[in-house]
Amino acid sequence: MLMSISGRRRPIFGIAMIFLWTAAGRNAAAQVTGADPSFAAPSRSQPAAQDVPEIQLAQPGSPGQAAPLTLTLKDALESARQNDATYLGAVTDARNAHEDRIQARAALLPAVSSTTQELLTKGGSILETGRFVTNDGVHVYRGWGVLHEDLSPNFFTLNGYRRASAAEALAQARAEIATRGLTVTVTQYYYGLLVAQRKYGTAQQSRDQAQQFFKISQDREKGGEAAHADVIKAEIQLEQQQQILEEVRLAMEDARLNLAVLLFPTLNENFSVVDDLDTAPSLPSFPDVQGMAVHSNPDLKVAVEALRVASADVSAARQSFLPTLSIDADYGIEANEFALRGEVSGAMPDERRLQQNNLGEFVTFNLQFPVWDWGNLRSKLHQSEFRRQQAQVELTSAQRKLVRDLYSSYNEAEVSGAAVDRLHHSAELADESLRLTALRYQAGEATALEVVDAQNTLAQARNAYDDGEARYRLAIAELQTLTGAF
């Protein structure tokens, strides 16, 4: 139940006339009769829905294709931001939240509008005043400029605007989370392709080494310097390396497809990536990383802004128990003819027709306050308080989770960074070991098993080194989701 107290006072002040009623009438007619092309029915010759685009594959180096694009990690990130649906959805939410804040600010300001009405009533008396008491004559014309303002508790506390600002900050923090998450995904796919290409090169080199070893073993068998078992072992090694090469080629093609789907609006494989695995950024000290996480962590900011939104909802629920004052100031015409000056319709026929000024103004005050609503407002207050309590719990949980993730991500980056140097040294040792073992085999001082073992060890060491560099890059990207770029 709502109780309303209204008051009307004629005329109390003059407000400059700001609307032309004839122009307003033409605008209204144009809105009614104007055709909007966006609502036009589809013709029979055109389909109602857009055709599904045909998927075309662009293979690198295909005849008739342009030169392949050369992408750096920065280029890949920029391209992904233009095509990833999840990221663009978060950005759209942030833009909508910005518009909501603008609308909340506009809601605090007075609203100005115009209205034009013509009330036609059948006459039935000598004076032709009409049959309905709400009409002060047979023809009543209204052309008003209206100034409206709601003086609610929200107007004085700015609670609605503050909530919209907090919601905008919340949406922007979520967009930042989406940005950093997309960075991790692109980094993983980008360096996944680079590692696959490196492994393909390693597999080709291993296959070539196996072919050379097979030839050497055959030559030594012909010279009576090696047994036929060495030739068999060398041939088995060659077949295995050929199979590994095919598997690695398949993995490389899959990695290229994964990155192509992420980067381009149409499936395009005609691109190459810049190999910068050897130029990874250095890891800052932990105190510096901790300071960046405190000031730049989007998950923590989301929890803080969610608490602000929930607190604003509680304030709004409490303010709904208070009265609201609405003010409407009207200036214009309400007369029996649409003119600035007109005749007095109540004059007798034998009297001289009197002229009167049709322009006037009046103000309406409406005071509204709740009396009884069966507990609806109090229930909404309880709901908002429950959400605020949950937001407080989520904030403390986000703080604890940030500390845990920060230590975990930093330790991962530190360990993977140190492992890169060791893996690089191991690859160099494996390469030297294979060279020496091959020389010893040719001199008759090593067995075929030792050569095969040295070849496999070199391939494993190189692959481990490539995986280690990619692991460090991914660890840095995941750490930067907590701290921002460094």
pLDDT for 67: 79
Q: pLDDT class for 65, splitting at 50, 70, 90?
A: low
Q: Residues near 2 by Cβ (< 8 Å), separated by ≥ 6?
A: 368, 369, 370, 371
Is 387 among the domain residues? yes
- Residue 138 tokens read as 């047979």
DSSP 349: T
468-478 residue pLDDT tens: 999 999 999 99
Residue 39 has pLDDT above 80, yes or no: no
Tell me the angle at which helices 159-222 and 228-263 cross, rounded to the nearest 10 degrees: 160
Higher-confidence residue: 1 or 394? Answer: 394
Decide if 44 is inside a domain.
no
**Tokens matching residue 28:** 């209204």
**44 secondary structure, DSSP code:** T
Backbone angles phi, psi at 360, to 5 degrees: -165, 175
Which residue, 336, 329, 12, 365, is CA-closest to 142? 336
Mean pLDDT, rounded, of the chain = 83
pLDDT band at 142 (very low <50, low <70, confident <90, very high): confident
| Count of C-beta atoms within a 10 Å radius of residue 470 | 24
**Does residue 332 come out as left (phi exceeding 0), alpha (psi in the -120 to 50 range) or beta?**
left
Looking at the chain, the whole-number percentage of residues with pLDDT higher than 70 is 81
175 has a pLDDT exceeding 60: yes
The 10 Å Cβ neighbour count of residue 293 is 21
Confidence at residue 4, expressed as pLDDT on a 0 to 100 scale: 40
Of 35-39, 100-104, 160-164, 359-363, which gets the smallest average pLDDT?
A: 35-39
Residue 55's pLDDT band (cuts 50, 70, 90): very low
- Which of 426, 412, 413 is CA-nearest to residue 464? 426
Note whether 88 and 80 are within 8 A (CB).
no
Q: Is residue 189 included in any domain, yes or no? A: yes
Domain that holds residue 188: 2-24+55-483
pLDDT tens-digit series, residues 147-166: 988 888 888 889 899 999 99
Residue 234 CB-half CA count within 13 A: 25
* Cβ-Cβ contacts under 8 Å for 98 (sequence gap 6 or more): 168, 171
| Phi, psi angles (nearest 5°) of residue 465 | -65, -45
Residue pair 99/168 in contact (Cβ under 8 Å)? The answer is no
Token pair, residue 130, equals 């009409």
Is residue 163 a part of any domain in this protein?
yes
Note whether residue 350 is domain-resident.
yes
Task: Give me the residues paired with residue 115 across strands.
Answer: 144
Angle between helices 228-263 and 448-483 (to 10 degrees): 20
The structural domain count of the chain equals: 1
Distance (Å, rounded) from C-alpha 352 to C-alpha 354?
6
CATH of the domain at 394: 1.20.1600.10
Name the residue with higher pLDDT: 64 or 313.
Answer: 313
Residue 451 vs residue 350, higher pLDDT: 451
pLDDT reported for residue 336: 77
Element (H, E) at 231: helix 228-263
Q: Are 130 and 121 in contact (CB under 8 A)?
A: yes
pLDDT of 6 = 40
Tokens 């609006």, located at residue: 265
Nearest one of 105, 104, 136, 106 to 121, comparing CA atoms: 136
So what's the pLDDT on residue 424?
95
Instruction: Report the predicted TM-score, pTM, of the whole model to 2 decimal places.
Output: 0.74
46 falls within a domain: no
Q: Which helix (H) or strand (E) holds 327?
A: strand 324-335
Q: How confident is the model at residue 423 (pLDDT cuts 50, 70, 90)?
A: very high
List 271's β-bridge partners, or say none: 69
Whether residue 42 lies inside any domain: the answer is no
Work out the pLDDT band at 141, boundaries 50, 70, 90: confident
pLDDT at 480 over 70: yes
Sheet containing 324-335, strands listed edge to edge, beginning at the edge strand earlier in sequence: 2-9, 359-370, 324-335, 139-151, 111-120
201-212 average pLDDT score: 95
| Percent of the chain topping pLDDT 90 | 60
Following CA atoms 454, 242, 57, 81 in sequence, which dihedral angle do they give, to the nearest 10 degrees? Answer: -20
- Asked if pLDDT for residue 464 goes beyond 50, the answer is yes
The CA distance from 174 to 299, in Å, is 8
Distances (CA, A) of 87 to 55, 255, 434, 479: 23, 21, 48, 19
Dist CA 72 CA 479 (whole Å): 21
Of the ranges 36-45, 58-67, 360-369, 376-385, which is most confident?
Answer: 376-385
| 3 state SS of 352 | coil
Q: How many helices (H) and strands (E) does the chain have?
A: 10, 9
Helices marked H in 11-158: 21-33, 73-83, 85-107, 153-157
DSSP H or E run through 239: helix 228-263
pLDDT above 70 for 263: yes
305: in domain: yes
